[in-house]
């Protein structure tokens, strides 16, 4: 049985949502990121972490790749062109969405006050606005990979949710409708049971 460390208020949503989509049972320990309670399970206290066979595995993207490969869903076979396309979306989202949001968070409340730079935020928001347009250009249908919902959509929706909370530039109608479609999935709704 999988155990997931973290709550869906942070990147842990990616893992819980993946498990719900795959219909795989799991336990959840909803500790706060970086907290002493989280460090009981995972050395750095970083979330999410996946605990399996007594071992702790970190990093949301590595975990959702592992789960989707292992349970044959939400992805494409390794070595296929679809896999290459999906991996391209995931790399794009990490570089152009996750990293901007993470740098903003570090400069808002994660880093000690002496190591926060307010002036970086307009730059991040400008880059983010550009990334929104680039994401829109990547669509092939209802989802990033056309008709097939994949882990790339889980990452994209999580980043769009995060951007709303961080008060980053708003998505346009196409992206708003896309996020709404993804959030309308039953597995997404089930994954929020801990909130
Ligand atoms: N690359 C990692 C980042 C993990 C991460 O930084 N998680 C945040 C919460 S979303 C955290 O645990 N922060 C607490 C800290 O940095 O001490 C992933 O995708 O899982």
- State if residue 46 touches ligand 1 by the CB under 6 angstroms criterion: yes
Strands 49-52 and 2-5: antiparallel
Compute the distance between CA of residue 138 and CA of residue 116 in angstroms, rounded to an integer.
33
The string of pLDDT tens digits covering residues 128-150 is 999 999 999 998 799 999 999 99
Give the residue whose CA is nearest to atom 18 of ligand 1: 59
Atom of ligand 1 nearest to the CA of 98: 19
The string of pLDDT tens digits covering residues 77-113 is 999 999 999 999 999 999 999 999 999 999 999 999 9
Mean pLDDT, range 42-46, rounded to an integer: 94
Atom of ligand 1 nearest to the CA of 12: 10
Judged against a pLDDT cut of 90, whether residue 194 lies above it is answered with no
Q: What is the model's pTM?
A: 0.97
- State if residue 161 touches ligand 1 by the CB under 6 angstroms criterion: no
Q: Tokens in use for 70? A: 């292992």
Compute the distance between CA of residue 168 and CA of residue 54 in angstroms, rounded to an integer.
39
pLDDT at 140: 76
- State if residue 60 touches ligand 1 by the CB under 6 angstroms criterion: yes
């Amino acid at each position: 049985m999988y155990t997931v460390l973290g709550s869906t208020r942070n990147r842990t949503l990616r893992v819980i949502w993946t498990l719900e989509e795959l219909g795989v049972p799991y336990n959840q320990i909803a500790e706060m990121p970086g907290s002493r309670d989280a460090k009981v399970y995972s050395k750095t206290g970083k979330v999410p972490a996946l605990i399996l066979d007594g071992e702790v595995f970190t990093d949301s993207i590595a975990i959702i790749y592992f789960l989707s490969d292992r349970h044959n869903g939400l992805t494409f076979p390794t070595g296929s062109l679809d896999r290459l396309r999906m991996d391209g979306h995931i790399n794009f989202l990490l570089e152009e969405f996750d990293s901007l949001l993470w740098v903003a968070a570090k400069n808002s409340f994660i880093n000690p006050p002496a190591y926060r730079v307010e002036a970086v935020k307009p730059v991040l928001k400008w880059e983010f606005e550009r990334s929104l347009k680039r994401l829109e250009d990547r669509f092939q249908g209802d989802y990033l990979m056309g008709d097939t919902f994949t882990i790339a959509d889980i990452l994209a929706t999580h980043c769009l949710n995060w951007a709303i909370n961080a008060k980053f530039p708003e998505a346009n109608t196409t992206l708003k409708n896309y996020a709404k479609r993804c959030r309308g999935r039953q597995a997404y709704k089930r994954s929020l049971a801990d909130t």
